[in-house]
């Protein structure tokens, strides 16, 4: 790929990748997210007539929630992801809002807020995570529930990993460069995409995705400071109670009365 054309065609996260997200990641991950949520819905007797999915992306989890409640909001900061959601949710009774989850303002408080697909990890400062949790609390009814998942970085301490991955789709080819830095609890994915149908220079583009990992004890303490009571923490893949080795954690918390 031509370095000059890449530099000239750089985009914000999910600005161009939005159109490929489901085929590359979302469709594969969604069944795991749905299964984990349904286990929590039964285990914690989650009851709700209104809900909001923040960081809703292309709307896959909104489709799941739509059959479970009467009033539903989908929130994302990416206009391009919301455009995908709008197409997917045609005919579904849902209101889509473009907002930063650190400054969430729903039209009305809801019984349930969800934040899935490691959305919180895209907030790379502790202050940002705290603002998002406080904002979620303010948009929940008293006694309402917040359900979210997060990458903890367990097992990555002191490790630095570099992975190169090739992605092939009809008409598109990508090289992803992943760098995971356990000493800083951070990961960085540089996506270099090229269209195979048109001229190379005008169809090469780049997105960089950065995340920060947050350990379980820190998150539990922060939730308490934000007025949110932890009901349970589980391993996303097994649904067993979370342990110090849990890399991807699923939280169920409630707004304190």
- pLDDT by position in tens, the chain (length 257): 444 444 448 899 999 999 999 999 989 999 999 999 999 999 999 999 999 999 999 999 999 999 999 999 999 999 999 999 999 999 999 999 999 999 999 999 999 999 999 999 999 999 999 999 999 999 999 999 999 999 999 999 889 999 999 999 988 899 999 999 999 999 999 999 988 765 545 578 999 999 999 999 999 999 999 999 999 999 999 999 999 999 999 999 999 87
Count how many residues are written for the chain: 257
User: Which candidate, 132, 109, 110, places its Cα nearest to that of 122?
Assistant: 132
Question: What's the pTM?
Answer: 0.93
Whether 147 and 171 have beta carbons less than 8 Å apart is answered as no
* Structure tokens that stand for 193 in this block: 């995409």
Task: Give the integer Cα–Cα distance in Å for 235 and 240.
Answer: 6
Element of type H or E holding 35: helix 27-43
What does residue 200 show for φ and ψ, rounded to 5 degrees?
-60, -50
In this structure, how many other beta carbons lie within 10 angstroms of the beta carbon of residue 104?
22
Q: By CB neighbour count within 10 A (0-12 exposed, 13-18 middle, 19+ buried), where does 205 fall?
A: buried
Backbone dihedral region of 196: left (phi > 0), alpha (psi from -120 to 50 degrees) or beta? alpha
Q: How many CB atoms lie within 10 A of CB 186?
A: 17
């Amino acid at each position: 790929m031509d370095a000059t054309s890449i530099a000239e065609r750089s985009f914000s996260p999910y600005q161009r990748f939005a159109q490929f997200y489901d085929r590359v990641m979302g469709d594969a991950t969604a069944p795991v997210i749905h299964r984990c949520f349904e286990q929590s819905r039964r285990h914690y007797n989650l009851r709700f007539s209104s809900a909001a999915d923040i960081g809703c992306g292309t709307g896959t989890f909104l489709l799941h929630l739509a059959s479970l409640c009467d009033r539903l909001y989908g929130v994302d900061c990416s206009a391009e992801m919301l455009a995908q959601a709008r197409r997917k949710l045609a005919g579904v009774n849902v209101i889509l809002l473009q907002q930063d989850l650190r400054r969430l303002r729903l039209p009305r408080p809801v019984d349930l807020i969800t934040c899935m697909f490691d959305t919180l990890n895209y907030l790379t400062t502790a202050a940002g995570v705290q603002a998002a949790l406080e904002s979620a609390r303010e948009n929940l009814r008293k006694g309402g529930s917040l359900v979210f998942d997060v990458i903890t970085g367990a097992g990555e301490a002191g490790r630095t990993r570099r992975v190169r991955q090739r992605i092939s789709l009809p008409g598109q080819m990508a090289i992803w460069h992943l760098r995971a830095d356990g000493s800083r609890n951070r990961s960085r994915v540089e996506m270099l995409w090229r269209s195979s149908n048109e001229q190379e220079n005008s169809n090469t583009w780049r997105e960089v995705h950065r995340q920060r990992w947050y350990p379980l004890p820190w998150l539990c303490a922060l939730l308490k400071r934000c007025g949110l009571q932890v009901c349970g923490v589980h391993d996303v893949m097994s649904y067993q109670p979370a342990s110090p080795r849990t890399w991807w954690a699923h939280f169920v918390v409630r707004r304190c009365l």
